Structure 1
Amino acid sequence: MVLSSSSDADTVMDAVDFVLQNFTEMNKLWVRMQHQGPGGVREKREKERSELQDLVGKNLHVLSQIEGVDLEMYKETVLPRVLEQVVNCKDDLAQYYLMDCIIQVFPDEYHLQTLETLLGACPQLQPTVDVKTVLSRLMDRLSNYAASSTDVLPEFLQVEAFSKLSNAIGKVIEAQLDMPAVGAITLYVSLLTFTLRVHPDRLDHVDQVLGACVKKLSNIPKLEDSRAMKQVVALLSAPLEKYNDIVTALTLSNYPRVMDHLDIGTNKLMAMVIIQSIMKNNSCISTADKVEVLFELIKGLIKDIDGADVDELDEEDFKEEQNSVARLIHMLYNDEPEEMLKIICIVRKHTMVGGPKRLPFTVSSLVFSALRLLRQLQGQEGDIVGEEASMTPNKIFQLLTQIIESLSAVPSPELALRLYLQCAEAANGCDIEHVAYEFFTQAFLLYEEEIADSKAQVTAIHLIIGTLQRMNVFGVENRDTLTHKATGYSARLLKKADQCRAVYACSHLFWVDDQDGIKDGERVLLCLKRALRIANAAQQMANVARGSGGPVSLFVEILNKYIYFFEKGNKQITSSAIQGLIELINTEMQSDSTNPDSVADAFLASTLRYIQFQKQKGGVMGEKFESIKL
């Protein structure tokens, strides 16, 4: 109904009264029809009632279109009379439909300015009315209205929209004692969405909503409704999605309290969401306090929660979870060494209770975080890292030892050995000989007492040799002790081929290019000759066992070591020795007892081409190779 601009207030009022009266009578008829007629005509009656429902709603639509119905008239006349009819009709279907119509047909601005009146009717509705959906739609409309223009935001503050919505939700939940948990939590999700869109800077509002949810959940012995659980996850996810920063969420005191009400599986799911948010946004958690809160949030991933059995977990899911925790540890960083040490200690406190299946994932990350801290210290002024300082490299090395020792409960000796060697290299960089020696000692003890698998022994001994080769911190006595142990272990490996390769690898321990004091040509030659004897023994054993050729490629590998040290200027390695070795290899390959070996043939051919290349290149090196006959 549209009135001309010349219509006076009385005419407008008459039109409003007429439509309101029509609305009231039609609504009463609509409600009465529910209870009329025998059961046999119920289907026909329901169809008629549905048609009348549309007419009832159209009355409200007409009211919203009458020219002259301004905010004042809506506030003083239209809304109170419509709500009076809604509350008094006592019909749950009618109440839900009419409340939804009011929200949909009248302007957002009117809802905002009459929010208290509209919300006041909600607790008076029948207990069976789906009030949560009504309120959720109202909050969605207001959220969209706020997002439409920044000019309207002051209006929300002026009318204290959040406070009124929060109070109304509380009253509705109190009035509807039978409201299921999912209904209440859905209301809090809508309220949180509203405040995140309208007042994103008001973290106190966000925390207040979370706190109200905690209060509701505390009255529920155990939250078993999967729909309610999904709503709790939605509640916890909303701040992460809005702020794209877990650091903001960590300031919310009620956030971890809400997570405590999740079941084991959902708790872990939410913990993964938090970690993924940190990874996605490259968030840096840089204070010990925030790290403490963060690890409380993700405790479902880092330790067994009561009732959880880690053995029953899917192996792939478990690995993904633990790898996520390990990646998270690398994201924790602070430029201040003192604060970084606090962070490492907090992470250690939480992860050390993870149990034998989790420790191998987290200990490595923790060790490398401590090693990064060590590099920080090395970059500081001398007075900071001096022995009188509150934090020194020695103290960090003590912490590293304690962290790695925790792997003894797993046990995981191969991993522990690798980490000890990493720490030994770090001690080498800090020029602390006794600490580096102690780490090597621990690595050797693990090798002797814990590593029994032959393949693992081969890997371990090569790691030891490679690390020891790079060390320059040791004096003559300590280095001799360690190299002697390494060569001894190499010669005692199970398979001859493994022995041979480990022994010739030890030759590099006695000749290091960038260390003038470690160039012992005689001991290099002894290692290579020992490797040759082992290779020869392997060849003979193969001939006896199979009546055919053995590992000829071992001789070619040793030949390459001879050439390497020959080029480096080791006077103990002569061209005649190389010549003799080439002839030995050719003899072995031409032997009737040797099976053709295409790999060894190609390897030897490549090696001989290299010697030929050096001869053709000329110069000093060419002269050295000239006497070798191919």
Structure 2
Amino acid sequence: MCRGIQHPVRGLFLRSYLSQVSRDKLPDIGSEYEGDADTVTDAVEFVLQNFTEMNKLWVRMQHQGPAREKEKREKERSELRDLVGKNLHVLSQIEGVDLDMYKDAVLPRVLEQVVNCKDELAQFYLMDCIIQVFPDEYHLQTLDVLLGACPQLQPSVDIKTVLSQLMERLSHYAASSAEVLPEFLQVEAFAKLSNAIGRVIEAQPDMPTVGVVTLYSSLLTFTLHVHPDRLDYADQVLGACVKKLTGKGKIEDSKATKQVVALLSAPLEKYNDIMTALKLSNYPRVLEYLDVPTNKVMATVIIQSIMKNGTRISTSDKVEALFELIKGLIKDCDGTSNDKLDEDDFKEEQNSVARLIQMFYNDDPEEMLKIIETVRKHILAGGPKRLPFTVPPLVFCSLKLVRQLQGQEENPFGDDASTTPKKIFQLLNQIIETLSGIPVPELALQLYLQCAEAANDCELEPVAYEFFTQAYILYEEEISDSRAQITAIHLIIGTLQRMHIFGVENRDTLTHKATGVIIYSDI
């Protein structure tokens, strides 16, 4: 009856019934039907033959009827796909189908049918079935054969999803037990997957950007699970992705952008350490393909990772590399301005940068000063709108270094006078002075007074006096609002009361100045 019916739908249902009623009668190992004449091989052959015929009937459905009803037929075919897939499920349940039989008889026959049918819907569904129904161990040991079929599929097949699901299953398999990891090394799974992805992309030159990035994102996730100690593998994946994206310009597709963010976030989530990501030479090269808004999102993710894990950035080289990654938050990129950005969003971005600066620290004063100089170089290039957020944390980092050097009678670095408190105060004066062009006089005044107190503790009277002088100039020339004047004079008087370094002449001068300010001001 099965051979006699030529109508595709009727034939499908009849053969599906045949598969169902014969399932418990197959001569499997331990089955009552197992014998000398009937073997597991016969059972496998029966199911494979039924699968082959059902797939042919299923594919033929697309040619039954007028062309205008093609969409309707494809919908019907999609609804009937499980009838064909059940055969593969039956094969996976046969006890006698061990790895050798799967490798020699089952997989080659199934893949032959998948490739030769040349039908997009059938190829995608059947490849997915193979990955889902057979054991992960079988996939690992037959990786060459399975991956070899991928470039032979129709260009319209969503191969990125198929390969992503395969890599996801293998990743879970590797995570299930440390004992299976040697198997991955033995079969060279990473190299085979990497080469297969390259061949698939070459075989499908019209593959959209989202497909390319998704494949490499899945490969990176696989690599981080199976070979977490091989940073060179992770960097190789990023480099391959960059190579495939070369010449395509900024990624504008939202789905592709999301996959790039997932690709770049994977190392951060795995290692919980931005320092590890900084070792990946191709990491910033991938970032270059993000548009400005997404680049900012990725920069925020990086900063959040640093804050969450309490990562200390301890060298100027690492600060330089980090600022290169988050430059979307540090300065305007590609001629774009932050004027169009929502004010609250902008403040949140710059506050995150301010918190990041507090994570820069080194016990070595000389290296810490290099860090401060590096930060200064970057934040001063960020434009006046960012300075009120980024200058204060830089000032307090510098003051922390001053406290560190406080009490040292001799410069431990010989002739390198840049590491003395006096030279750091000169640098601070220059940094705070940049706020005068914005202007934010109240903030600058507070910072000058903070520096004056620090100079007081370092017994540097001329330096402390200079900072007070700058504070008075700001008060008289820049602060006109009455409330701001009240706050400012309270700060000046309070700071002056805590100063012990001034001699009689300087103290009298500053005290009389404060008194005159109160008398002649509008407050």
Structure 2: distance between partners of 1:8 and 1:436? 102
Residues 295 and 43 (structure 1 numbering): CA distance in 2 closer, same or farther, change over 3 Å? closer
Match of residue 187, structure 1, among 202, 207, 215: 215
Residues 156 and 388 (structure 1 numbering): CA distance in 2 closer, same or farther, change over 3 Å? closer
Structure 2: distance between partners of 1:414 and 1:8? 97
What is aligned with 2:60?
A: 32
Match of residue 392, structure 2, among 351, 356, 364: 364
Structure 2: distance between partners of 1:254 and 1:380? 43
Q: Higher mean Cα deviation, 107-116 or 178-187?
A: 178-187
Structure 2: distance between partners of 1:44 and 1:303? 54
Match of residue 454, structure 2, among 410, 426, 451: 426
The reply on whether 1:60 has 2:85 as its aligned counterpart is no
What is aligned with 2:10?
A: none
What is aligned with 1:406?
A: 434
Structure 2: distance between partners of 1:44 and 1:425? 80
What is aligned with 1:156?
A: 184
Matching residue's letter, 1:397: F
The reply on whether 1:482 has 2:510 as its aligned counterpart is yes
Matching residue's letter, 1:464: I
Residues 353 and 52 (structure 1 numbering): CA distance in 2 closer, same or farther, change over 3 Å? closer
**Residue deviations 1:433-457 (CA, integer Å, cap 9, x gap):** 1111111122222222222333322
Structure 2: distance between partners of 1:410 and 1:40? 67
What is aligned with 1:120?
A: 148
Structure 2: distance between partners of 1:180 and 1:277? 30
Match of residue 288, structure 1, among 304, 312, 316: 316
**Residue deviations 1:314-345 (CA, integer Å, cap 9, x gap):** 11111111111111111111111111111111
TM-score norm. by structure 1 comes to: 0.75
Report deviation, 1:82. 1.3
Q: Check the 8 A contact 2:249/2:289 in 1, yes or no.
A: no
Q: Higher mean Cα deviation, 210-219 or 375-384?
A: 375-384
Question: Within 5 A, what are the aligned runs for 1:491-502?
Answer: 491-494=519-522, 498=523
Report deviation, 1:292. 1.0
Instruction: Compare relative contact order (CA 8 Å, sep 6+) and give the higher one, 1 or 2.
Output: 2
The reply on whether 1:241 has 2:266 as its aligned counterpart is no
Q: Check the 8 A contact 1:385/1:392 in 2, yes or no.
A: no
Match of residue 232, structure 1, among 260, 283, 308: 260
**Residue deviations 1:384-440 (CA, integer Å, cap 9, x gap):** 288765521111111111111111221222211111111111111110111111111
Question: Within 5 A, what are the aligned runs for 1:157-172?
Answer: 157-172=185-200
Larger radius of gyration: 1
Q: Check the 8 A contact 2:27/2:43 in 1, yes or no.
A: no
Structure 1: distance between partners of 2:310 and 2:58? 58
Residues 8 and 435 (structure 1 numbering): CA distance in 2 closer, same or farther, change over 3 Å? farther
What is aligned with 1:501?
A: none
Q: Check the 8 A contact 1:385/1:393 in 2, yes or no.
A: no
The reply on whether 1:109 has 2:137 as its aligned counterpart is yes
Report deviation, 1:29. 2.1
Matching residue's letter, 1:473: I
Any idea what SS the aligned residue of 2:363 has?
A: coil
Q: Check the 8 A contact 2:27/2:40 in 1, yes or no.
A: no
Q: Check the 8 A contact 1:330/1:369 in 2, yes or no.
A: yes
**Residue segments in structure 2 that go unaligned for 5+ positions in a row:** 1-25
Structure 2: distance between partners of 1:8 and 1:352? 86
Any idea what SS the aligned residue of 1:227 has?
A: helix
What is aligned with 2:344?
A: 316
Report deviation, 1:53. 3.1
Structure 2: distance between partners of 1:366 and 1:158? 51
Report deviation, 1:18. 2.7
Q: Check the 8 A contact 1:367/1:400 in 2, yes or no.
A: yes
Residues 386 and 4 (structure 1 numbering): CA distance in 2 closer, same or farther, change over 3 Å? closer
Residues 374 and 252 (structure 1 numbering): CA distance in 2 closer, same or farther, change over 3 Å? same
Matching residue's letter, 2:29: S
What is aligned with 1:262?
A: 290
Residues 386 and 42 (structure 1 numbering): CA distance in 2 closer, same or farther, change over 3 Å? closer
Residues 2 and 62 (structure 1 numbering): CA distance in 2 closer, same or farther, change over 3 Å? farther
Any idea what SS the aligned residue of 2:512 has?
A: helix
Question: Within 5 A, what are the aligned runs for 1:322-337?
Answer: 322-337=350-365
Matching residue's letter, 2:28: L
Q: Check the 8 A contact 2:417/2:423 in 1, yes or no.
A: no
Q: Check the 8 A contact 1:2/1:65 in 2, yes or no.
A: no
What is aligned with 2:242?
A: 214
Q: For the aligned residues, what is the CA RMSD?
A: 2.2
**Residue deviations 1:46-81 (CA, integer Å, cap 9, x gap):** 677457533321222222222322111211221112
Matching residue's letter, 1:212: A
What is aligned with 1:3?
A: 28
Counting matched residue pairs gives 495
What is aligned with 1:100?
A: 128
Structure 1: distance between partners of 2:382 and 2:71? 62
Any idea what SS the aligned residue of 2:39 has?
A: helix
Report deviation, 1:99. 0.6
Match of residue 423, structure 2, among 374, 387, 395: 395
Q: Check the 8 A contact 2:380/2:387 in 1, yes or no.
A: yes
Q: Higher mean Cα deviation, 80-89 or 361-370?
A: 80-89
TM-score norm. by structure 2 comes to: 0.90
Matching residue's letter, 2:337: D
Matching residue's letter, 1:230: K
Structure 2: distance between partners of 1:9 and 1:161? 40
Q: Higher mean Cα deviation, 361-370 or 329-338?
A: 329-338
The reply on whether 1:373 has 2:401 as its aligned counterpart is yes
